[in-house]
Amino acid sequence: MDRTVLWRAAAVQGLSVAVLSVALAIALPRSFFVDWGWLAGPGAWLLCALVTAAVLRLPPGPTLLGAALAGLPSLVAVLIGVHWLGAVVAVALFAAWCARLARDRGLAARAI
């Protein structure tokens, strides 16, 4: 696991999710999130994962797969009413995925 990527991925994903969340909260009424949050939330999460992939120079496909997998446990948090706890867990899992992806990518590059 590449620990520098772990911390950078957590920071970039966490910051981008926070900034986008605040921007959407300012721009859209609460009713939008009640009706469309099930679609807007995962879409925003994946968009932020693409930002993280670009900043850290990670491949977008595997990074999006990691984001989708890391987001699954947060569904449980949403269902029990602790949405932001789920986001924190998802960021941690996603950062670990990115760190592993970077390490595996580095090993593959050295093998060539």
What are 5-56's pLDDT values in tens digits?
999 999 999 999 999 999 999 999 999 998 988 888 899 999 999 999 999 9
DSSP 80: T
Q: 3-state DSSP call for residue 67? A: helix
CB atoms within 10 A of CB 68: 14
For residues 98 and 110, the answer to whether their CB atoms sit within 8 Å is: no
Query: Whole-prediction pTM value?
Result: 0.86
CA distance 67 to 89: 12
